[in-house]
Structure 1
Amino acid sequence: MKKQVFLEQLREVASIQGTPGQEMNVVKSLVDLFTPVADEIDVDHMGNIYAYLHGNKPGPKMMVSAHSDEIGCVVRDVDERGFIKIERTGGMIESLLVGRKVNVNGHFGVVGVKAGHLQTAEERKSIPSIHELYIDVGASSKEEVHTMGIQIGDSISYISEIEQFTNPDLVCGKAIDNRSCCVLLLELFKDLFNEKDFSGTLVGVIAVQEEVGLRGAKVATYKVNPDFALVLDTIPCADTPDSINSGYPVGIGKGPVFPALAGGSVRGNIMSPQVKNILIRYAKELDMPYQLAVMTGATTDLAAVHLEREGVLAGAVTFARRYSHSPVEVADLRDFELGFALLKRVITDVDSWGDLSFIK
């Protein structure tokens, strides 16, 4: 995988607005990108994408998935002066919304902030709730907002392009969670498409509505009914001054992360030890760094995938990101480069996986 190609593709896909339940523009773009490098493409009524590659030998059905949605908000109400009230969809954080540029269903807007000159001492130390926040789209009345084509329920997302640091391997912007893994899956399909040197069928899934309850992945896994599955996602890390002593030793630039446990006691998962051991085995064979993580405060689509039908043998390959669920998420391109090499090796060497029984 060429990092520059990955970056340019990420810039394109991350710039598209695609909040939970409103991923249609992202889905359209990804369908166009996957079509030339897949044997078949399907999109269900929810917006989940299914891209199929048939290997040159018989074998298992392997599902590799990423989610297309980004955190966001929706229009909750419009007041008589044309200011928009909002409701969150996904993990939007009030303190990061104030004073931000936003996209309101294709229209430029800003999240309002009370002038510091007018704030009391207490207000300067507090954060408005989501229901106190409002968006200014430059309209002077409710009618003008409606004339712009903005309605209750319309999508709101950050405006924040993907940019590089002085160190070009470090990138920053919105929707790195999880458009980065959508692009990683696309690059994998590009690489495997011509020779198809693997056994079985690879089903690439781009799932919707992960940020509001792993909804698309549940539907997609039931439809695909894979023999095993890998979920690709980004994961919070703790390598900054405010979290470095958290007891959660995960950082950017240290290789893919295998979350041995993710999420709480109910809405989470303990990764299949069989799949975890396979991931570690191939990382070692490739002599690449990797990280193991235990994090109860976040989860991935794996939590839904592994519970479908009679249970799916599944695991996750994730990538550390700083400043999670913000417009300035930061990731290291080298981690994705390593993840690509690992995924390709795992898939093309499936015949050598050995016995995956829980007890032997």
Structure 2
Amino acid sequence: MFDTQSNTFLYKYLNNSSPTGFEASGQQIWLDYMKPYMDSYITDAYGSVAAVINPDAPYKVVIEAHADEISWFVHYITDEGYIYVRRNGGSDHQIAPSKRVNIYTKKGVRKGVFGWPAIHVRDEKEETPTLKNIHVDVGATSKQEVLDMGIHVGCVMTFDDELMELNNRFLVGRALDNRMGGFMIAEVARRLKENKVKLPFCLYVVNAVQEEIGLRGAEMISRKLRPDLAIITDVTHDTRSPMYNKITSGDVRCGLGPVLGYAPAIHNNVRDMIIEVAEKKQIAFQRMALSRATGTDTDSFAYSSEGVPSALISLPLKYMHTTVETVHKEDVENVIKLMYEFLVQLPANYDFRYIK
């Protein structure tokens, strides 16, 4: 489905760690891949990056994903050398026990494990993992030894897991939410370049930071760029996997195509144009109602400045915020194709207002 160049980038980018607030290394990998396909780039103080295509055109369009992943902070180090943690984003304490971690220090990456007592020695009441009892063991026997390793309060850590394929159909790993989005928008830019498409507008391909703690990176970069239109991509839940209630969560499945959202922040005219493109190009898609807010960077772009017509194209994903986030490769391809086809048919200076 993807050529060697795309796959090499995909694995390098996905296997790199980019915790919220510490995204710089992943952003550099992404920017290095983008350089042949852009005219210039813009960065902001906190690390969001916008690759720019056709920068002199007055009408400005954004396609966007977020670069950061959930993680943990070192919060407390005991006298015996055990580490207790605090969330950086929506990290799940219930999946932590027995996981390996990478702890990032000025002395390099230090390895650790989330320890957990054996089932036959735990309390009869079957104590479950909480932030009060999960702990990281780095093989130290004292607090001073931990400090000597370069580990201190505030060091960030991620689970130590890498991307793999499942049944030649799915991609599985941590942080597919949402570096898979960064991969997809980069592939859109590559196809525009390789197909020699001359856009009649300026395109910002935006990889934003700090989404996982409140859409903060998109909020900052949207004010800087002040676009006329924004198309956001993020992940959404596959609700046909076990333990979901489709009555409350909707009906979405990996392999059935991109998901187009309905919410006040999602501009009806923009979404309807995307649907027209999908139907014309025979790209399968699904629909999802999101109520008051999308919970994605769409909200930051839509409500920035004087209001930016915005829409959300979501990638179905299983097991969000775990180390085995799972997406269907055909869905990845169809998100890329849908964004690409939308851009090549978009006229310059298109007015999406409801009332003119």
TM range (shorter): over 0.9
Determine the structure 2 residue equivalent to 1:203.
204
Judge conservation of contact 1:63–1:204 (CA < 8 Å) in 2.
yes
Structure 1 vs Structure 2 CA RMSD? 2.0
- 1:44 corresponds in structure 2 to 44
From 335, 351, 354, give the equivalent of 2:331. 335
**Does structure 1 residue 32 correspond to structure 2 residue 17?**
no
Counterpart position of 1:108: 111
Q: Distance in 1 between matches of 2:242 and 2:3?
A: 28
* 1:46 counterpart letter in structure 2: Y
For 1:78-157, what aligned pairs fall within 5 Å after superposition?
A: 78-105=77-104, 106-122=109-125, 124=126, 126-157=127-158
Alignment partner of 1:186 is 2:186: yes
Partner of 2:279: 284
Q: How big is the shift at 1:215?
A: 0.2
Which of 236-245 and 81-90 deviates more? Answer: 236-245
Q: CA deviation at 1:324?
A: 0.6
Normalising by structure 2, we get a TM-score of 0.92
Q: Is the 8 A contact 1:254 1:335 kept in 2?
A: yes
Task: In structure 2, give the amino acid aligned to 1:22.
Answer: F
| Equivalent position of 1:72 in the other structure | 71
- Correspondence 1:348 to 2:344: yes
| 1:27-78 superposed Cα distances (whole Å, 9 cap, x missing partner) | 12112222222111232210111110118x9562101111110011111121
1:241: Cα distance to partner?
A: 2.6
Secondary structure, in 3 states, of the residue corresponding to 2:153? coil
Contact residue 83 and residue 137 of structure 1 kept, 8 A = yes
| Contact preservation (8 Å) 1:199, 1:348 | no
Which residue of structure 2 lines up, in the alignment, with residue 173 of structure 1?
A: 173
Alpha-carbon offset, residue 328 of structure 1: 0.5
SS of the aligned residue for 2:201 comes to strand
Equivalent residue, structure 2, for 1:323: 319
Deviations 1:158-180 (A, max 9, x none): 111111112x1211110110111
The Cα shift of 1:355 comes to: 4.8
What SS is found at the alignment partner of 1:210? Answer: coil
2:262 to 253, 257, 260: 260
1:294 paired residue number: 289
CA 1:69–1:11 in structure 2 vs 1: closer, same or farther (change >3 Å)? same
Per the TM alignment, residue 7 of structure 1 is displaced from its structure 2 partner at its CA by 4.1
SS in 2 for 1:116: coil
Task: Verify: 1:18 aligned to 2:14, yes or no.
Answer: no
Q: What amino acid sits opposite 1:92 in the alignment?
A: S
Q: Residue type matched to 2:64 in 1?
A: S
Q: Is the 8 A contact 1:10 1:179 kept in 2?
A: no
Per the alignment, residue 231 of structure 1 pairs with: 232
Aligned to 2:216: 215
Query: Bigger shift: 220-229 or 139-148?
Result: 139-148
Amino acid at match of 1:67: H
Given that residues 34 and 51 in structure 2 are in contact (C-alpha distance below 8 angstroms), is that contact kept between their aligned partners in structure 1?
yes
Distance 2:280 2:348 in 1: 13
Instruction: Choose 23-32 or 190-199, whichever is displaced more.
Output: 190-199
Q: Which of the residues 267, 271, 274 maps onto 1:272?
A: 267
The letter for the 2-side match of 1:118 is: V
Distance 1:107 1:2 in 2: 34
Identical amino acids, percent of aligned pairs: 26
Residues 254 and 3 of structure 1: CA distance in aligned 2, closer, same or farther (over 3 Å): farther
Partner of 2:162: 161
- Tell me the CA shift for residue 3 of structure 1: 6.3
Distance (Å, rounded) in 1 between the aligned partners of 2:95 and 2:345: 44
Contact 1:178 1:233 in 2 (8 A): yes
Distance change (3 Å), C-alpha of 1:244 and 1:183: same
Q: 1:344 to 1:181 in 2, by over 3 A?
A: same
CA separation of 1:342 and 1:324: change in aligned 2, threshold 3 A: same
| Aligned residue number for residue 359 of structure 1 | 355
Which of residues 251, 276, 283 in structure 2 aligns to 1:249? 251
Residue 312 of structure 2 corresponds to residue 312 of structure 1: no
Task: Supply the AA of the counterpart residue of 1:87.
Answer: R
Q: 1:164 to 1:68 in 2, by over 3 A?
A: same
* Structure 1 residue runs without a partner (length 5+): 262-268
* Cα contact 2:265–2:302 (8 A) shared by 1: no
| Equivalences, count | 349
The SS at the match of 1:65 is strand
Deviation of the 1:4 alpha carbon: 6.1
